[in-house]
Amino acid sequence: MSTARVAGALLIVLPLPFNLCVFLLARSFDYPDILRRPTSEVLARFRAGGPRLLLLWWAFALTAVLLVPLAVLLADALVGANRAVVAVAATTGVLAGVVQFLGLVRWPFLVPYLARADAEAGPARREAIDIVFQSFNRYLGVAVGEHLGYLFTGGWSVLSGIALIQATNTPWWLGVAGIVVGALLMMCSLEFVGTFEQEGWKLAATLTPIAYVAWSVWLIAVGVALIL
């Protein structure tokens, strides 16, 4: 099987587990709205979810890892594209997968411990747990997973879009779509930057799920184009 067909298959497959995990987390854990609620409520909901919720977060974290081989394979599959552009695109895509994984992996490994500790904690220890949880939520969740994750994913999409326009084995309009979707994701990465740090930028919060749905559709479309 050619690299283009392998990349195309992975492009089609990746959005499926990603969106399935998001759907199941929204249904069972009220994700992502739960992330903005008090620590005690988040941890209580996490305990109530049991092993099923823990494994769901673990699976969601692993979907980010799939972006690493996808970025490399897509760069190699585009015939006629500028090699410097595809090299930078591949590097950016790998970084996107890594930072999103680092942002998500706290849920199946760190949060279970905090949830157990919170269940039997007194007021003083519960305050300490709140500080730890919110610190990791702000650092790994908001800064690494969301800010850098959206920024690098958007950057990869823009660079891949440029390469798709240059490539001879894909239609040019898929490249334009990638640039538009990527720019939207990069804008969403600014949700908690600067003056928005405390409360968040409402427009970015509203656009993020829409951008990721559009991104998923774009991935599938590129995958189909590469296979055909």
Cβ–Cβ contacts within 10 Å for residue 59, how many?
Answer: 17
Average pLDDT, rounded, for the chain:
94
Q: Does 199 have pLDDT greater than 90? A: no
Average pLDDT over residues 190-195: 93
**31-45, 97-111, 161-175: which has the minimum mean pLDDT?**
31-45
Average pLDDT over residues 104-119: 95
Average pLDDT over residues 106-123: 92
Cα 7 → chain centroid: 19
At 121-176, the pLDDT tens digits run: 888 899 999 999 999 999 999 999 999 999 999 999 999 999 999 999 999 999 99
Cβ–Cβ contacts within 10 Å for residue 124, how many?
Answer: 8
Give burial (CB, 10 Å; 0-12/13-18/19+) of 170: buried
DSSP annotation of 196 reads: G
Q: The tokens of 84 are what? A: 């410097």
Residue 2 is predicted with a pLDDT of 87
Nearest-angstrom CA–CA distance, 35 and 69: 29
Nearest-angstrom CA–CA distance, 223 and 214: 14
Q: Does 103 have pLDDT greater than 70? A: yes
Residue 30 is predicted with a pLDDT of 93
Q: Does 204 have pLDDT greater than 70? A: yes
Nearest-angstrom CA–CA distance, 163 and 91: 14
Say what angle helices 149-166 and 83-104 make with each other, to 10 degrees.
150
Residue 145 is predicted with a pLDDT of 94
Nearest-angstrom CA–CA distance, 211 and 228: 26
Residue 77 is predicted with a pLDDT of 94
Write the CB contacts of 114 (distance below 8 Å, at least 6 apart in sequence).
Answer: 43, 129, 132, 133
Residue 67 sits at the vertex; the CA angle it makes with 63 and 68, to the nearest 5 degrees, is 120
Residue 1 is predicted with a pLDDT of 63
At 39-94, the pLDDT tens digits run: 999 999 999 999 999 999 999 999 999 999 999 999 999 999 999 999 999 999 99
Q: The tokens of 50 are what? A: 């049991």
Nearest-angstrom CA–CA distance, 147 and 54: 24
Q: The tokens of 46 are what? A: 């996490």
> For the whole model, what pTM was predicted?
0.94
First to last CA, the chain: 13
